[in-house]
Structure 1
Amino acid sequence: MTRPRTALTCCVLALVATGCGIRPTGVTAGGTAPSGISKDMRIYFASDSGLRGVSRPGKKVRDFNAAYRLLLDGPTREEQFNGLANLVAPEKWLRVTSHDGSVTISIPHSTADAPQDQSTGQLVCTFARAEVLLHGTRPDKVQVTIVIGGERAGPYQCQQFLSH
């Protein structure tokens, strides 16, 4: 009984003495840690699994019209291949204003099938993101109201459309 135990003890000690074979290195600088929200504009598109946001790095958004143009440009070919689609029809009379985190989208007539459909979510989330970038509003504080003709829908928050 003592021979197998002695042999096992010797093997364990030999393994511990040799280590794992990885030699220590010095400190490696990894740069600064990410903090806060991304500075990139996100555009929201429809998919079979619900609304999805995609980043547009390097695209500067100086006003709501620029965000709307990015949305109307639609998904890239790769994004289309991955199942993303733009359900928002171009509306030349669309107007977007904001005051203290409350965004209002004015549209003469609706392109949405229902107040909670993905095309409405595309507008709400894209303009909410633009509000964050343009005015520094916290994402959870942005409220978006849609006025179609004289009827109001909302206020909505982007999160309402992302949870479906």
Structure 2
Amino acid sequence: MTARRRAALLVVPVLCGLASCGIPATGVVEAGGPAGGVVPTIRVYFVADGMPAPVSRRVVAPIGAASAVEVLLQGPTAEEQAVGLKSLLPLTGADLPTAVPADPGRPPATAVPRAPATEVPRAAGATDFAKVTTRGHRVSIELSLSSAGDLPDLAVAQLICTAVEAHRVAGPGGEEVTAAVAGQDGRRIEGTAARCPAE
């Protein structure tokens, strides 16, 4: 048997196998919607056991320091509060107590004066309480409070850790990100991710 004839005999079964492999010819098959990709997440920092505690949040807005601070100022969910997470940042007017505790030797409790709308950030949104700007590897958080020192240290850490982490994720690079929190008096409290737990 010649080499040419042997080659022809080997090619014929291969062609027959390909032509009759049992898969019917079809057009384009539509199956489901387009791929949506991964839902972006950011890490915001609440407080647990006297330490900043990171929590992941899914977001629809572009990831950045400003959007992360906006999410942070919404506070922990009821489920997160149930496991001990809290925020030390200012609460909405609805979250303030409406009456002072009763004292047997005094008349009935009276309403506690509520703060003006400009001092209750979550009711109107984070932009009324915290204006976040970025320049290079620096994040600036300007508060509507008279001084950043009016906040507890852990509340300032919540803002710094959240902003630094989000800015690092949004624009990864080799340089360390620094965040500064300032009130209307201009006093700045600066920090980096060095004191922010990753998990």
Q: In structure 2, which of residues 102, 111, 132 is the aligned counterpart of residue 96 of structure 1?
A: 132
Deviation at 1:153, TM superposition (A): 2.3
Deviation at 1:46, TM superposition (A): 1.1
The equivalent residue for 2:193 is 158
In 2, are the aligned partners of 1:121 and 1:158 still within 8 Å (CA)? no
Deviation at 1:143, TM superposition (A): 0.3
Structure 1 runs of 4+ with >6 Å offset: none
Deviation at 1:93, TM superposition (A): 4.3
Deviation at 1:95, TM superposition (A): 1.0
Per the normalisation by structure 1, the TM-score is 0.63
Amino acid at match of 2:163: F
Amino acid at match of 2:193: C
SS in 2 for 1:84: coil
The equivalent residue for 1:145 is 180
Deviation at 1:49, TM superposition (A): 3.7
Amino acid at match of 1:156: G
In 1, are the aligned partners of 2:87 and 2:155 still within 8 Å (CA)? yes
CA 102–65 in structure 1, closer or farther in 2 if over 3 Å, else same: closer
Amino acid at match of 2:183: I
Task: Say which is worse superposed, 89-98 or 76-85, in terms of deviation.
Answer: 89-98
CA 73–56 in structure 1, closer or farther in 2 if over 3 Å, else same: same
CA distance in 1, matches of 2:86, 2:149: 14
Deviation at 1:51, TM superposition (A): 0.8
Residues 81-92 of structure 1: matches in 2 within 5 Å? 81-89=82-90, 90=121, 92=128
Per the normalisation by structure 2, the TM-score is 0.53
Unpaired runs of 5+ residues, structure 1, are 1-38
SS in 1 for 2:76: coil
CA distance in 1, matches of 2:195, 2:163: 14
Count of aligned pairs: 122
RMSD: 2.6
Give % identity.
29
CA distance in 1, matches of 2:68, 2:83: 22
Deviation at 1:40, TM superposition (A): 2.5
